[in-house]
A and B are shown apart, each in its own frame.
Chain A
Amino acid sequence: MSVTEKVVDKIINEKNISVENLLCTKLRTTRSGCSLCIDTCPLNAIRISDSGIEISGDCNECGACISVCPNGAFRMKEGGESAVLQEIRDKITDNNGPVFRFSCAHGDKKADLTLPCLGRLTEALLLGPLRNGASATELLKPDCGECHSGKASSQIDEVTKQTGYLLDMFGLDKNAVYVKRAAFSATPAREEKNVSRRAFFGSVRTKMMGIAAASLPDGETHEQPVSPVKNNKRYVLLAVLKTFSPAKEVFIPSADAMLADIEISEKCDGCGACAAICPVGAMTRCDSDGCFSLGFSPALCTNCQACSMVCLRKAVSIKQTVKLNLLLQTGETKLIEVKKKTCPVCRIDFIGGEAGICPICINTGNKRMAAIKNLTKGIRP
């Protein structure tokens, strides 16, 4: 593709949604069958291939993928999580209404905040109004069956349910976040802004320059991120949760939870695959003082289960129920700490194994001999 074609392609297909492949569980490990974004996208605009996540031109920026991906692999370039929270804060001081009302573009036009689609809402955004003094968060939801983004409807229910668990933990009314039926209006509401001509052309110029720069065949734009990519979505949620104080301990079934509680059994052989694969950096490996240890930060865990799927020894297990309060725990807990031995054959440190030789050397040796036996059998019947 030539530079001109790239620029044209970017202008036509450039979406406000950016993707972060390193945060995608499916791209981190072939073992994961996660397809939450693909299943949720109302327009089937998401494809995941070896080269990464691709959003096709069909995307209408409803933001359901942002809401559904627990790892925060999708981000709004403009109007991200923090920006919407700021908007909520501003609107609340204007209104001082007891109930904060969200609506989608096809819903009630008198709502406090109108988003393109309610499927874009995350737990952090639903808690936002409550944190800033509103008594309840109301979702004015028209009949999603009439909307082309209707498939995102299930995501609204899921996020509302998850927010209910969080409210329960803070001793607040579970029903402080609720869905209310609204009439469907066929013409989508658009926020009209008075923009001067100078400002309009100024913004066009800035955007075009950005697009042109990104389209240049320059190595600079493809630089590997220096620091590990962070799950921004979770960090925003944790910041919102900090403003509440926990009232009681809430236990929820693991299958339904936004985090997992992980156990490591003594079968662990210290390969460190779980830590290497964890997309959100909730599992960390430490090799200091001749010890192998695994650290776990439950607040960062998104219950993607990549660690347990990947473990060859089946040493990583996810507890049946999880204490939601672990979300508020800062720092990491040590799951396992074992002294390392050095293998006299391969001179590599290892843990476990009964003999003084590392289990991999024994296994490799045995298998190699079995193959050779097979070979010599053919020579000397």
Chain B
Amino acid sequence: MSELNPILPQEIIDESFKKPGPKQYTLWVDLEYCIGCHACSMGCKAENNTPVGVDFNRVIEIEEGEFKDPKKTPDIGVYFIPMPCMHCGEPACMAACPVGAITKRKDDGIVLINKDKCIGCRYCAWACPYGAPQFNAEAKVMEKCTLCVHRIEKGLIPACVETCVAKTRFFGEMNAITDFVARQKVAKKVSVGAGGTKPSVIYTK
């Protein structure tokens, strides 16, 4: 099973927490085993208590290919793609924010919105290539995935990772995960990169 469905060893997660100096916490999503159950979205919603319409994590379903000729093998693909905040290396949202409310934390690379500073102009939503920042109409501020920073600070893993039914979503330090993924026979890293913002979330297939 582990050969087919690589699971991030606990040591790597533990090491991620212990590693001194600047690091980039991130998520690893193995698209091969995502079954599109939306448990991550629900776990996130419950954990962060987001209002209707605001979802820090969305699972997008994609159907691709053609099945026109019944004599041929159908060339189709169905993907479930969870889209959290990519906690980019060079966040477009941070550059777009006119009041400097968005910051990338130096020690763990998490991109956060300071709700006290945010004026709700939604420039970050215009800038983000992944549709991560969402407008909270009640509070009139922008919100987005925080990588469950309140849980991470307690030494826990993000809610979406904990709740993942298919064990296809992992939390850890970016370089540690990249090294681990490179050693796998099956999982192949695919890039979501668009707009040159250096997204940190790792997708494999």
Query: Which residues on A are within 8 Å of B, measured CB to CB?
Result: 28-31, 50, 271-273, 276-277, 310, 312, 346-348, 360, 363-365, 367-368, 370-372, 374-376, 378-380
Name the B residues within 8 Å of A30 (CB-CB).
97-100
| CB atoms of B98 and A29 under 8 A apart | yes
Does B190 touch A at the CB level, under 8 Å?
yes
Q: How distant is the Cα of A371 from the Cα of B195 in the complex, in angstroms? A: 9
| CB atoms of A372 and B123 under 8 A apart | no
The 5 A-B pairs with the shortest beta carbon distances in the complex, nearest first, are: A378-B190, A273-B121, A276-B119, A364-B131, A368-B131
| CB atoms of A364 and B98 under 8 A apart | no
Q: Point out the residue from B62, B81, B131, B191 that lies within 8 Å of A365, measured CB to CB.
A: B131
B105-125 vs A, CB cutoff 8 Å, 1 = contact: the mask equals: 000000000000001111101
Query: Which residues on B are within 8 Å of A, measured CB to CB?
Result: 31, 52-53, 60, 62, 64-65, 77, 79, 81, 83, 96-100, 119-123, 125-126, 128-131, 135, 137, 190-194, 203, 205
Max chain B Cβ within 10 angstroms of own Cβ: one of A30, A271, A371, A378? A371
| CB atoms of A370 and B98 under 8 A apart | no
Q: How distant is the Cα of A346 from the Cα of B53 in the complex, in angstroms? A: 6
Q: How distant is the Cα of A307 from the Cα of B129 in the complex, in angstroms? A: 25
Task: List the B residue with the shortest CB-CB distance to A370.
Answer: B194
| CB atoms of A379 and B123 under 8 A apart | no
| CB atoms of B131 and A372 under 8 A apart | no
Q: Report if A277-B193 is in contact (Cβ < 8 Å); known contacts: A363-B126, A364-B125.
A: no
Q: Report if A360-B190 is in contact (Cβ < 8 Å); known contacts: A347-B53, A376-B77.
A: no
Q: How distant is the Cα of A31 from the Cα of B125 in the complex, in angstroms? A: 18
Name the B residues within 8 Å of A31 (CB-CB).
98
Q: How distant is the Cα of A330 from the Cα of B196 in the complex, in angstroms? A: 49
Q: How distant is the Cα of A312 from the Cα of B124 in the complex, in angstroms? A: 11
Q: How distant is the Cα of A368 from the Cα of B71 in the complex, in angstroms? A: 35
Shortest distance from the beta carbon of B87 to any chain A beta carbon, whole Å:
14
| CB atoms of A371 and B130 under 8 A apart | yes
Task: List the B residue with the shortest CB-CB distance to A309.
Answer: B98
Q: How distant is the Cα of A372 from the Cα of B203 in the complex, in angstroms? A: 11
Q: Point out the residue from A29, A363, A365, A379 that lies within 8 Å of B77, measured CB to CB.
A: A379
Q: How distant is the Cα of A28 from the Cα of B100 in the complex, in angstroms? A: 9
Q: How distant is the Cα of A313 from the Cα of B190 in the complex, in angstroms? A: 34
Q: How distant is the Cα of A380 from the Cα of B98 in the complex, in angstroms? A: 39
| CB atoms of A348 and B98 under 8 A apart | no
Q: Point out the residue from B79, B122, B191 that lies within 8 Å of A271, measured CB to CB.
A: B122
Shortest distance from the beta carbon of A358 to any chain B beta carbon, whole Å:
10
| CB atoms of A348 and B137 under 8 A apart | yes
Max chain B Cβ within 10 angstroms of own Cβ: one of A310, A364, A375, A380? A375
Shortest distance from the beta carbon of B47 to any chain A beta carbon, whole Å:
22
Q: Point out the residue from A273, A276, A312, A367 that lies within 8 Å of B131, measured CB to CB.
A: A367
Q: Report if A271-B121 is in contact (Cβ < 8 Å); known contacts: A347-B53, A370-B194, A378-B190.
A: yes
Task: List the A residue with the shortest CB-CB distance to B205.
Answer: A379
| CB atoms of B62 and A376 under 8 A apart | yes
| CB atoms of A312 and B130 under 8 A apart | no
Q: Report if A374-B194 is in contact (Cβ < 8 Å); known contacts: A276-B120, A367-B128.
A: yes
Q: How distant is the Cα of A138 from the Cα of B99 in the complex, in angstroms? A: 43
Name the B residues within 8 Å of A28 (CB-CB).
99
Max chain A Cβ within 10 angstroms of own Cβ: one of B53, B81, B119, B193? B119
Name the B residues within 8 Å of A371 (CB-CB).
83, 129-130, 192, 194
Name the A residues within 8 Å of B205 (CB-CB).
378-379
Q: How distant is the Cα of A368 from the Cα of B58 in the complex, in angstroms? A: 11
Name the A residues within 8 Å of B121 (CB-CB).
271-273, 276, 310, 312
| CB atoms of A29 and B129 under 8 A apart | no
| CB atoms of A372 and B129 under 8 A apart | no
Max chain A Cβ within 10 angstroms of own Cβ: one of B52, B121, B125? B121
Max chain A Cβ within 10 angstroms of own Cβ: one of B100, B126, B129, B135? B126
Name the B residues within 8 Å of A272 (CB-CB).
119-121
Q: How distant is the Cα of A200 from the Cα of B126 in the complex, in angstroms? A: 61
Q: How distant is the Cα of A10 from the Cα of B81 in the complex, in angstroms? A: 57
Q: Report if A312-B135 is in contact (Cβ < 8 Å); known contacts: A347-B53, A368-B83.
A: no
Task: List the B residue with the shortest CB-CB distance to A312.
Answer: B123
Q: How distant is the Cα of A50 from the Cα of B129 in the complex, in angstroms? A: 27
Shortest distance from the beta carbon of B143 to any chain A beta carbon, whole Å:
13
